[in-house]
A and B are shown apart, each in its own frame.
Chain A
Amino acid sequence: MIVEGRGTADPVLSCTDLRIEIGGNPVVDGTTLAIAAGETLALVGESGCGKSMTALGLIRLLPDAARQSGGQITLEGARIDKLSERQMNRLRGDRLAMIFQEPVASLDPLMPVGRQIAEALGRASETSSTDVDARVQDMLVRVGIDRPEVRARQYPFQLSGGMCQRVMIAMAMIRRPMLLIADEPTTALDVTIQKQILDLMSDLRRETGSAVLLITHDMGVVSESADRVAVMYAGRIVEAGAVTQVFAEPRHPYTAMLLRTIPRLDGPRKVALPAISGAVPDIRDWPQGCRFHPRCPLATDRCRIEAPPLAQVEPGHDTACWHHDRIATELT
């Protein structure tokens, strides 16, 4: 295992050398990661880097055009990538949950939200309907929705975006899943609502001991709500480690340059930001060797030919760079 969970031998969920293809192109190209109970792992990267496909691949909800072409996925020590759709469905209801960027689009517009949460409880619960109502309302209160008896009867269009995301979280957490996958859960929300939702997610995580895989493009969100971070670039994880470590001393040029290029609230104003030149490469046109080399100021001939493997540079901190020793002096 390359990316290890925080001091636990048995991660809740792990994948080894996960590969996902769309039309013969590898969108996820050998991803290895593990998430321990109670921790938040952020998977961060720019559009098209494969972070969402990794998440969908992990719970086997890939779109029709995509397929897993290699690697293993393990949930609590048991392989799940060979399970039937039916077995997988049971797992998704019980052990795995997912929330998405567009809460309004993820909810059924024609069903009161209370019933949607009750549905998430599923057939497995052999409780009476009054018990179900009570549990739904209790859950609504826990996600910070006032007057739950009124809200439960309302439809998604009657609720704000932030409120709909709270409903999604209620649906996801009511079965106390082992793992919650949150794909850009706050990207469509205003910044004050974003803060409330992130706080809510971390409260629930503490309460239930669930693991959280947080997919985001926002380094600020990573810094404030994750324990560990894995940085993806062009289908591969290029750096992974504790958030404090990675942010204080990035060991991959992409991470280092990304952190420098973002305007900071304590940085100089109205001056040129240290930009990363070029653009994220197209999936049909991924460079040979290290995929970041055309944009990397440290690149050498070796980088152009040979892809560096993800390897440990210090305990709990991995990077895929031939020149990770030069970053501290040359890029920060």
Chain B
Amino acid sequence: MTPPIVSVRDLKVHFPIRSGLLGRVTDHVRAVDGVSFDLMPGKTVAIVGESGSGKSTTGYAVMGMQEPTAGQILIDGRDRTQMSANERMATMRRLQIVFQDPASALNPRMSAAESISEPLQIHRIGTARDRRERAMELLDLVGLPHSAAGKLPREFSGGQKQRIVIARALALEPQAVICDEAVSALDVSIQSQILNLLLDLQSRLGLAYIFISHDLSVVRHIADHILVMQAGKVVEQAATDEIFNAPKDTYTRQLLEAVPKL
């Protein structure tokens, strides 16, 4: 059996609350409080929940952007805390992240091709010419014309910017991409284009996704496995069909009940 790309075991992220003159730690916000799941190659695990549920913090911890308070995060079976700096850098090539707002994720002064090939430059991969060629391939992959290469972010629509961000995330050929509300800020007609792109990339490249979202209809469409989070805890996790057809937890049922039906 293939090992999971990412294994999260009893992850906790607690933030201290300081008060008084001396700023003593009086309590903790348990932003993530005991989350466990496995991400298998080519699959999508979705984390759903309302604001403050800890879904994004979980994503940041997996990405290595947030130090866990406790618990383990294994990348290809290796504990991140046991890794050397070089190994950590290497895991960054395996995992990438795409955020909600593509406008703030792109440098306004960098052309699409420069943005897309920047990760290659940072990791010192290929010659300038190789990188330029790779940027063109990536433009093809995300459905943008080659004429987009020299343009600046302001010349693109929101959906096109998100395609550029996705192309950049794919530059290092990651095995998994964390999508943190990656389609939430897009108009409905654009949202479905990007969802289609993500599904298409998954089947072509065998990508795995951790899909963080508050939108249950979108999550149902894209995910294989779902974690429902509330106040830092996973209240229920199961295969997508099970969550939607036979939700066990009261909060899951409340969430499903609250979704406006078309």
CA distance A220 to B240 in the complex (A): 21
Answer yes or no: B196 CB below 8 A from chain A CBs.
yes
CB atoms of A280 and B187 under 8 A apart? yes
CB atoms of A265 and B220 under 8 A apart? yes
CA distance A218 to B262 in the complex (A): 9
CB atoms of A269 and B221 under 8 A apart? yes
CB atoms of B188 and A262 under 8 A apart? yes
Which secondary structure characterizes the binding site on chain A? loop
CB atoms of B214 and A191 under 8 A apart? yes
CA distance A195 to B261 in the complex (A): 11
Q: Given A265-B216, A265-B244, A279-B190, do A259 and B255 touch, yes or no (CB 8 Å)? A: no
Distance from A25 Cβ to chain B, minimum over Cβ atoms (Å)? 17
Q: Hey, which chain A residues are within 8 Å of B254, CB to CB?
A: 192
- Interface residue total, chain B, C-beta cutoff 8 A: 34
Q: Given A275-B192, A275-B193, do A191 and B258 touch, yes or no (CB 8 Å)? A: yes
Chain A residues in the interface with B (C-beta under 8 A): 46-47, 190-195, 198, 217-221, 223-225, 247, 257-259, 261-265, 267, 269-277, 279-280
CA distance A50 to B189 in the complex (A): 16
Distance from B184 Cβ to chain A, minimum over Cβ atoms (Å)? 11
CA distance A219 to B240 in the complex (A): 23
CA distance A192 to B195 in the complex (A): 24
Answer yes or no: B218 CB below 8 A from chain A CBs.
yes
Answer yes or no: B51 CB below 8 A from chain A CBs.
yes
Partner of B255, one of A47, A191, A261: A191
Chain B positions 203-222 with a Cβ under 8 Å from a chain A Cβ = 214, 216-218, 220-222
Q: Hey, which chain A residues are within 8 Å of B214, CB to CB?
A: 190-191
Distance from A220 Cβ to chain B, minimum over Cβ atoms (Å)? 3
Please list the 6 inter-chain residue pairs (A to B) with the smallest Cβ-Cβ separation, ordered nearest first. A220-B260, A190-B50, A263-B221, A46-B187, A273-B192, A195-B258
Q: Hey, which chain A residues are within 8 Å of B144, CB to CB?
A: none
Q: 8 extra interchain contacts, Cβ-Cβ under 8 A, other than A47-B187, A275-B189, A276-B189?
A: A190-B50, A190-B214, A219-B188, A220-B261, A265-B217, A265-B244, A272-B199, A279-B160
Q: Hey, which chain A residues are within 8 Å of B222, CB to CB?
A: 269-270
17 contacts between A and B (CB under 8 A): A46-B189, A191-B259, A194-B260, A218-B260, A220-B261, A223-B261, A225-B260, A262-B217, A263-B192, A263-B221, A265-B261, A270-B199, A271-B199, A272-B196, A276-B192, A279-B159, A280-B190
CA distance A7 to B220 in the complex (A): 40
Q: In the complex, which residue of chain A has the Cβ closest to the Cβ of B244?
A: A265
Q: In the complex, which residue of chain B has the Cβ closest to the Cβ of A45?
A: B187
Q: Hey, which chain A residues are within 8 Å of B195, CB to CB?
A: 263, 273
